[in-house]
Amino acid sequence: MSVIRQLLENRILWIGVLSWFVAQTAKVVLTLIVEKHLDWSRMWGLGGMPSSHTSVVVSVTVAVGIRMGFNSALFAISAAMALITMTDAMGVRRQAGKQAAVLNRVVQELVENGGDLPEETLKELLGHTPLQVFVGGALGLIIAIIAARG
């Protein structure tokens, strides 16, 4: 079987892709509802509600459990990677986003006061709140339960 065919037939991989797509689409829709403007950059952007990283790793982990057993080594590996991903999203990446916000304010103040600094801003929306991770996890769980059977 060719590599391309194997990838195309990998149901668990496609469950993860579907979960990412649904989470990212939800970010676009939520931005439209809350901020009253259509922002397609949210489709590819990091951070925000819900956590697409969490949605992907939870959907893949649950799909692995359903298809290969919750006592399998693959489930254990997937669950460990999911926990690392979710912890990182709420910890390191969230703190990096907060630091970017502070640095952006400092640079803006310096530029406004005649400083000769670049006006490039750092990305502030990098990590997630616990609620965003929880909702991403719930979304991933629901998608995996629906899609992994069969």
Q: Tell me the pLDDT tens digit for each residue of 12-22.
A: 999 999 999 99
pLDDT tens digits for 37-81?
A: 888 888 888 778 899 999 999 999 999 999 999 999 999 999 999
3-class state of residue 35 by DSSP: helix
Query: Which parts of 50-129 fold into alpha helices (H)?
Result: 52-68, 73-90, 92-112
Provide the 10 A C-beta neighbour count for residue 81: 13
| pLDDT value of position 83 | 94
Residue bearing the bigger pLDDT, 114 or 72: 72
How far does Cα 77 stand from its chain's mean position?
Answer: 19
| Residue 118, φ and ψ in degrees, nearest 5 | -65, 145
Tokens of 26: 């939800």
Q: What gap in Å lies between CA 66 and CA 99, rounded to an integer? A: 40
Distance CA 129, CA 87 (A): 10
Q: Is the pLDDT of residue 125 over 60?
A: no
Domain ranges of the chain: 3-84+130-148, 92-126
- From the DSSP assignment, how many helices (H) and strands (E) are in the chain? 6, 0
